[in-house]
Structure 1
Amino acid sequence: MKQFLAALPFVMALPTLTQPALASEDIPDQYPQSVLYSKPYEVIPGVYSSIGATAPPTYENAGHNNNLSFIVTGDGVVVVNSGASYKLAEALHAEIKAVTDQPVKLVINENGQGHAMLGNNYWIAQGVPVLAHVDAAEEFEHSMAGAWTALKGYAKENAEGTDPMGPTETFEDEKIITMGDFEIHVLHLGPAHSPGDTQVWLPQQGFMIAGDIAFSERMPPIFSGTCTSCWIETWEEKFMPLNPTYVIPGHGHPTNLAQVTRYTRDYLVYLRGQIRDHIDNGGGLADAYYVDQSPYKHLDTFEELATKNAGVVFEEMDWE
């Protein structure tokens, strides 16, 4: 363990899947005085995260069902994810101001989904540059109208002020930022959950803000067009070798590499194995939806996602 973390015994109390109720979709809004689902807390010195609901986006959680993080560097603040709306970005900024008088100098979008980018216009209005991978920027350009329509449908008045805007800057493979006490590596390790998945790696702290390459406490959604074999390869060849001590996943509480591996990479390997057996036994799409996924039935969003995931993976593997 890095010396920086070894001196911090309190980090051993970070929530893990042994305490699933902390992020359960059955738990109501944990921060009712704010549009944020939960109040940001300091995970390690200088790194904060507001943990989203593990439920799908709803009026009750205002679309805050991913993790909104920020790094107080000593010479400015770096934000990871704009959030699903102008109001979520504004609420996160209010929390940042309560922690520090350092200005926000950069926002990083973890991917091209609405919950990462729909709050961009708030930050752009503050004069803050917004960075995303080039593929994530392209993905958002194609999907932002639908994401905005969905936001207005479920968030109602909490969608007010949102004007979908893409990032102001893009990168391709890696961008290294030195700011204050932090060296920040903005990475695109390879194909994973969605186009342009981005990881924020703090090598000096051994700490990874992983984005949606990594899930904990809830089932990962697999999209049409997701290459699950590529996701596994990226995990094994690029993500795991970094060997982060702690990980803030895209969804779920901060935890460790073993836990996100168990509920992301291992889940993908398991589901592909079930579908491979199904195909080898002559099974078709109609029955593929119901392959056994019971080892993961305790995860939030299992009911919403398990059968969909199986169908998507069947269609992927049927062409392999």
Structure 2
Amino acid sequence: MSQKAFASHADLEVKQVSFTQLSPHAWAYTAEGDPNTGIVVGDDAVMVIDTQATPAMAQDVIRRIREVTDKPIKYVVLTHYHAVRVLGASAYKPEHVIASHDTLDLIRERGEQDKASEIGRFPRLFNNVESVPPGLTWPTLSFTGKMTLWLGKLEVQLLQLGRGHTKGDTVVWLPQDKVLFSGDLVEFDATPYAGDAYFSDWPQTLQNLAALKPEKLVPGRGAALQTSEQVRAGLEGTRAFVSELYASVKAGVAAGRELNAVYRETIDALRPKYGKWVIFDHCMPFDVTRAFDEAGGLRDPRIWTAERDVAMWKALEG
């Protein structure tokens, strides 16, 4: 049997960008399931939350920002360490790049491998990859648990509410506006990537997000959620996918089945409900492989490399 190409390598369609105002201070830059960017406009400065994958791609975000404000972009916040979220940071020329200390640890530990892995997996998402400066994107400020910034009179909270998508996940919360930027802890009509996840923790972390009672939410992928009902649907959809996938994999591991069999069973179980979500076929091999490791007792995710990606894909889809 010939090897099936990475699902993302067949994903060549350019997505339609939307730039949506959610509150007096919050905007969402979304693109039909491609990675989202959040924008906060305070009294005296702008904050960008997740940067796009390359400086060239970030220029379109900057153009949209300049349509609504001429205030300086002082802060870039990284919700986590994945290359598709951070490599555009240099375009904004921020005073500070902020991440959780756990995210900084992950950049130190596996940033180079992750960069090579992601660019190899997702060529379209790294448009003009040659515009990325050499090296990694390094935070200039890191925090543990909570950091509060004031953009004039606007309170902006950076919060670690638990592990899920990665161990370093950060959300950005505007308590005055009741707007939450979740990063990839929440997706909407898009498949959660869970190759670096903590399946046992993720559902509780989503409950911790829900406890903030956000009225609007910008997910990592998918449309901005603009009503309390949509926010609930985004949180519940993500929780259901993560929980159902992990339950299927745990059952396979408990029965002593090999990864390939567990993968087939899990993809068959989840496809009827989630198969139409963006990047389902791309994410499932990574998600099941990580869940198999965690169910087998490997608490922390193994490092993905370009070589490991190819070997995994060949084993599961070849």
TM-score, normalised with respect to structure 2: 0.78
Highest RCO, 1 vs 2 (Cα 8 Å, sep ≥ 6): 2
Sort the Cα spacing of 1:215 and 1:39 in 2 relative to 1 into closer, same or farther, 3 A: closer
Cα deviation, residue 142, structure 1: 3.5
User: Could you tell me how far apart the structure 1 residues matched to 2:116 and 2:204 are?
Assistant: 34
Q: Which residue of 1 aligns with 2:105?
A: 138
Q: Which residue of 2 aligns with 1:21?
A: none
> CA offsets per residue over residues 103-148 of structure 1, 9 Å max, x none?
112111111111222122233xx35211111111222234443455
Q: What amino acid is aligned across from residue 313 of structure 1 in structure 2?
A: A
**Cα RMSD (Å) of the superposition?**
2.4
Cα deviation, residue 259, structure 1: 1.6
Q: What amino acid is aligned across from residue 28 of structure 1 in structure 2?
A: V
Q: Which residue of 1 aligns with 2:310?
A: none
Cα deviation, residue 80, structure 1: 0.8
Q: Which residue of 2 aligns with 1:69?
A: 38
Give 2:141's match in structure 1, choosing from 151, 166, 169. Answer: 169
Give 1:46's match in structure 2, choosing from 6, 18, 25. Answer: 25
Q: Percent identity?
A: 22
User: Could you tell me how far apart the structure 2 residues matched to 1:247 and 1:129 are?
Assistant: 24
Cα deviation, residue 283, structure 1: 3.0
Q: Which residue of 2 aligns with 1:60?
A: none
Gapped regions of structure 2 (runs ≥ 5):
1-10, 299-318
> CA offsets per residue over residues 210-264 of structure 1, 9 Å max, x none?
111111111111115x22011122223x222112112111111112332222321
Sort the Cα spacing of 1:244 and 1:127 in 2 relative to 1 into closer, same or farther, 3 A: closer
Cα deviation, residue 308, structure 1: 3.5
Cα deviation, residue 75, structure 1: 1.9
Q: How does 1:197-212 map to 2 (within 5 A)?
A: 197-212=169-184
> CA offsets per residue over residues 41-98 of structure 1, 9 Å max, x none?
31233211211352xxxxxxxxxx3111111112221111222112223332232122
Sort the Cα spacing of 1:156 and 1:250 in 2 relative to 1 into closer, same or farther, 3 A: closer
Could you tell me whether the CA contact under 8 Å between 1:289 and 1:308 is conserved in 2?
A: no
Secondary structure of the residue aligned to 2:161 is: coil
Secondary structure of the residue aligned to 2:278 is: coil
Kindly report structure 1 stretches of 4+ aligned residues shifted beyond 4 Å: 147-153
Indicate yes or no: 2:261 matched with 1:261: no
Q: Which residue of 2 aligns with 1:29?
A: 15
Could you tell me whether the CA contact under 8 Å between 1:141 and 1:166 is conserved in 2?
A: no
Give 1:277's match in structure 2, choosing from 251, 258, 279. Answer: 251
Q: How does 1:47-196 map to 2 (within 5 A)?
A: 47-54=26-33, 65-123=34-92, 126-149=93-116, 154=123, 155=126, 157-163=128-134, 164-196=136-168
User: Could you tell me how far apart the structure 1 residues matched to 2:132 and 2:293 are?
Assistant: 39
Q: How many residues are treated as equivalent by the alignment?
A: 275
TM-score, normalised with respect to structure 1: 0.78
Q: Which residue of 1 aligns with 2:202?
A: 231
Secondary structure of the residue aligned to 1:165 is: coil
Sort the Cα spacing of 1:28 and 1:93 in 2 relative to 1 into closer, same or farther, 3 A: closer
